[in-house]
Amino acid sequence: MKSLFVKYKLVFRFIITFIAVYTSLTLAYGWYLSLSDGSMYYPDFMTNLVARQTESLLNGIGYNTKIAAHANEPSMKIIINGKYVARVVEGCNALSIIILFVSFIVAFAGKLKATLLYCFAGSILIYAFNLLRIAILSVGLYHYPWRREILHTVIFPLLIYGTVFLLWMVWVNRFTKLKANV
């Protein structure tokens, strides 16, 4: 049994580090959500910010867009030209995806400075890509509402998770310490 632990030490270290970082960040995110009472920023600051930035982005490309608090659930409505096309819920703010991304990068740690910079830059890239994803999804739903299922459940999750996967591959192949040891 000891020989297995020695042989797969790096694998065990990766798994333990990933679980520890993921659990810590998820608990911190849950704590953040529990503090969000929705009085100042509905439903929470980050979800509200994503909705506002999506509104600005869509208005910037020529779509008359408004956001409004949803009356029946903790989300923000996206309304294009008076037509309610989508809603931004807590899961749309990309924080859960960023937590997953950061947990993997830390578990495959490289040099401290490179790890921190990559986590920061990757998180910004994921956040920005997520804004574009929501804007494009909203426009798609405005023009092609009958394509809602495939747009929301297949194409756009594939794009956001595909981006995270590509960022992980760049990290593993370019920056991680473990690359040289394998």
Q: At 84, give phi and psi (nearest 5°).
A: -70, 115
Domains in the chain, number: 1
The answer to which of 34-43, 66-75, 94-103, 159-168 has the lowest mean pLDDT is 34-43
pLDDT tens-digit readout, 14-57: 999 999 999 999 999 999 988 887 677 889 999 999 999 999 99
pLDDT at position 134, please? 94
148 is a domain residue: yes
Is residue 123 a contact partner of residue 102, using CB atoms and an 8 Å limit?
yes
79 is a domain residue: yes
Strand order in the sheet with 65-69: 65-69, 75-80, 83-89
pLDDT at position 174, please? 85
60 is a domain residue: yes
182 is a domain residue: no
Residue-range definition of the domain harbouring residue 150 = 2-177
pLDDT at position 149, please? 85
Residue 77 neighbours by CB distance under 10 Å: 17
pLDDT above 70: percentage of residues in the chain: 96
What amino acid occupies position 50? V
Q: What is the pLDDT of the chain when averaged over all its residues?
A: 90
pLDDT at position 59, please? 97
What amino acid occupies position 111? K
Is residue 129 a contact partner of residue 166, using CB atoms and an 8 Å limit?
no
Beta bridge partners of 67: 78
Is residue 85 a contact partner of residue 58, using CB atoms and an 8 Å limit?
no
133 is a domain residue: yes
Q: What is the pTM of this model?
A: 0.88
